[in-house]
Amino acid sequence: MAGGSFLLADGLVNDGDAKSGVFYWKVRRGDRSRAPAPTNSFNVRFMPTYRAPLADIRFVLEDLLDVGQLATLPGYADATPDVLVAVIEEAAKLCEDVLAPLNQPGDAEGCHYEQGAVRTPRGFRDAYSAFIQGGWPAMVATPDFGGQGLPKISHVVLDELLCASNLSFSMYPLLGHGAVGALERWGDDELKRRFLPRLVDGSWAGTMCLTEPHAGTDLGMIRTRAVPAGDGAYLVTGTKIFISAGEHDLTDNIIHLVLARLPDAPPGTKGISLFLVPKRLPTDEGTAGSPNGVTCGSIEHKMGIRANATCVMNFENARGWLVSEPHKGMRAMFTMMNGARLGVGMQGLGLAEVSYQNAVAYTRERLQGRSARGPAMPNAEADPIIVHPDVRRMLMTMKAHVEGMRALTYWVGTLIDVEERHPDAGRREEAADLVALMTPVIKAFCTDLGFEMANLALQCFGGHGYIREYGMEQFVRDARIAQIYEGTNGVQAMDLLGRKVPEGDGRLVRRFVAIVERDLAAAAELPTLVPIVERVRDAVERLERVTGTTLARAAKNPDEIGAVAAEYLRLFGLVAVGWMWTRMAQIGESKAGSAGVAASKRSTAEFFVTKLLPETQSLAARIDAGAAPVMALDATAF
């Protein structure tokens, strides 16, 4: 986008100076044209931009995680670091050059609904065509149905790039990717043959249809019904709401995975089955044929992600096919849901990254006041605001959280590959435990931080951050939904503390803590890292202590879990990122004197453990307070 010019939806044109980093608006109205020149006083309009953080991505994959080890797993022999980096670099070009320029115009235009049809914003169809022509939907799918069979970590990285460049667009292929994963694991051979090739290549899209007007988190209340059609199919009837990408014009068919009840279903979640229901019935040749009984009743008018259609979907005797076994739909759907939860966590990371990038660019350009140490730019009328300590505080907070989140999420991405491919059953089991433990943490912790970091970036812009043209307020709006969908962050916290932590008598947590303690011991062998190690070790001990005391209290009072779960999850996330920063500092220390990404890791780790990790102390105090302060007030007193 830098250095280029493109017509926006409302007639605004972006002219960019790639060297100076200054971006400004030119307004075209009829034969009048006025283009305010960039000046140091910043009487200009700043355009948000995005550049994939390739150097840091390579650092995490190669130096921190040694992703080359994945090539030793069965089926991944060709997935060398050079191959993965080459793939990621190509993805970066698509995101920077095609998707990011559509982000603001797509938000301004939104989706259009008319008589059951949805039209995506201008440019989205061409962008989606470029996306599928590049083979991106197929990158990690099984080669048996046209996939490229790359490691799952490569898709984790792709998710970050897509979400950072254009969150609304990213959600269209995200749902198809989830449908592929669910069908690969739970679909029978016939369903795979008929639907997977089109889903894998992206020519057909996917959704998951769970929520109903009266049933959100409590899916046991759903009323959508499925009755046998007599020929192996079922007729599905009901209404689903909040269906992301439920209807659009990017593909000629959309495959809905729908939760519904069979006539003999027991009550609650034990009576839920999963059905594949296409928008159009496939022909014998595998093309989209006649319409099924699936219609979009309306689309929502939302705070953010406006370029993604959030739909009310009506199913009226729509033909569908059972996925997995009768009454076992939740088990199958959780394959898709857990993958989507990790994907939503990447939304938090992506938006935090792009917000941080633009905050840095703006604070380097915006001239206001003088440095407390004396003029940094004596020949200018003021200094750039990046010299001011409070601005540095915000930038360092964003940098530390963004890079820490990236390390943590990518680590979990590699664990997914180990869980699926490692020849040693014990290693697969360990990886599965850690993925299960970290899934609610990634979803909730990273989306909380995504919203917080977008708000910090807006604050760096001052009043300009509140103005639509500068783009920061869109990042804030877009980030907010990630804390809600795919299970609210409160639900994620209760899943962590109420289910994952006690599982196997604490087996999952013990495995995590053992890895952390091993790495802390290794880092402590470098005397310069001892202060960092000690702070992280204190936080780990704090986590272990409150875990034991909270579970003991919960055995006597069931309200204890819900009352402190949110604080517990945040404490867990901070400890996990603190561990990652210890490892990154160790690598940075071993490359002392070198240039590039590694050179900044030691200083950023010091900032994290001294300025951000101490939050674990207040979190522990709040957890220790238990349920009593939360539940003491009678409900009638609110």
Structure-derived torsion over alpha carbons of residues 253, 477, 14, 165, reported in degrees to the nearest 10: -50
Residue 38 has pLDDT above 50, yes or no: no
* Amino acid letter, 573: G
Please give the pLDDT value at position 15: 39
Tens-digit pLDDT profile for residues 593-615: 566 788 899 999 999 999 999 99
Contact 136, 99 (CB under 8 A): no
Mean pLDDT, rounded, for 61-71 = 96
Can you read off the two tokens belonging to residue 222? 């759903």
Q: Identify the band that residue 45 occupies on the pLDDT scale cut at 50, 70 and 90.
A: low
Can you read off the two tokens belonging to residue 388? 């001011």
Can you read off the two tokens belonging to residue 241? 């709401």
- Computed over every residue of the chain, the mean pLDDT equals 92
Residue 623 has pLDDT above 90, yes or no: yes
**Backbone angle region of 137, left / alpha / beta, with phi > 0 → left and psi within -120 to 50 → alpha:** alpha
Tens-digit pLDDT profile for residues 260-287: 999 999 999 999 999 999 999 999 999 9
Residue 24 has pLDDT above 50, yes or no: no
Contact 631, 559 (CB under 8 A): yes
pTM for the full predicted model: 0.92
Q: Which of 160, 247, 473, 486 is catalytic?
A: 486
Mean pLDDT, rounded, for 160-184 = 96
b or e along 62-86 (b: 16 or more beta carbons within 10 Å of the residue's beta carbon)?
Answer: ebbbebeebeebeebeebebeebbe
| C-alpha of 473 from chain center | 19
Please give the pLDDT value at position 590: 84
Q: What is the phi/psi pair of residue 253, to 5°?
A: -155, 150
Tens-digit pLDDT profile for residues 406-452: 999 999 999 999 999 999 999 999 999 999 999 999 999 999 999 99
Residue 155 has pLDDT above 90, yes or no: yes
Cα separation, 38 vs 330, in Å, equals: 56
Is 486 catalytic? The answer is: yes
* Amino acid letter, 134: G
Q: Which of 424, 433, 430, 444 is nearest to 485 (CA)?
A: 444
Please give the pLDDT value at position 599: 83
Cα separation, 478 vs 482, in Å, equals: 8
Contact 421, 142 (CB under 8 A): no
Q: Identify the band that residue 5 occupies on the pLDDT scale cut at 50, 70 and 90.
A: very low
Helical (H) or strand (E) element with 92? helix 81-94
Residue found under tokens 């941080």: 356
Residue 32 has pLDDT above 70, yes or no: no
Please give the pLDDT value at position 82: 96
Helix axes 598-607, 530-554, angle to 10 degrees: 50
Q: Collapse the DSSP code of 138 into the 3-class scheme (helix H, G, I; strand E, B; otherwise coil) and give the result.
A: helix
Residue 37 has pLDDT above 80, yes or no: no
Cα maximum dimension of the chain: 83
Helical (H) or strand (E) element with 289? strand 288-291
Mean pLDDT, rounded, for 169-179 = 95
Can you read off the two tokens belonging to residue 6? 């493109």
Can you read off the two tokens belonging to residue 342? 């990790």
Q: Identify the band that residue 12 occupies on the pLDDT scale cut at 50, 70 and 90.
A: very low
Mean pLDDT, rounded, for 529-551 = 98
b or e along 145-166 (b: 16 or more beta carbons within 10 Å of the residue's beta carbon)?
Answer: bbbbebbbbbbbbbbbbbbbbb
Point out the least confidently predicted range of 29-33, 401-405, 481-485: 29-33
Sign, CA dihedral 448-451-456-457, equals positive
Q: Domains of the chain by range and CATH? A: 1-47 (no CATH), 54-168 (1.10.540.10), 189-333 (2.40.110.20), 343-631 (1.20.140.10)
Can you read off the two tokens belonging to residue 315? 């199913």
Please give the pLDDT value at position 293: 96
More confident residue, 452 or 14: 452
Q: Collapse the DSSP code of 28 into the 3-class scheme (helix H, G, I; strand E, B; otherwise coil) and give the result.
A: strand
Residue 40 has pLDDT above 80, yes or no: no
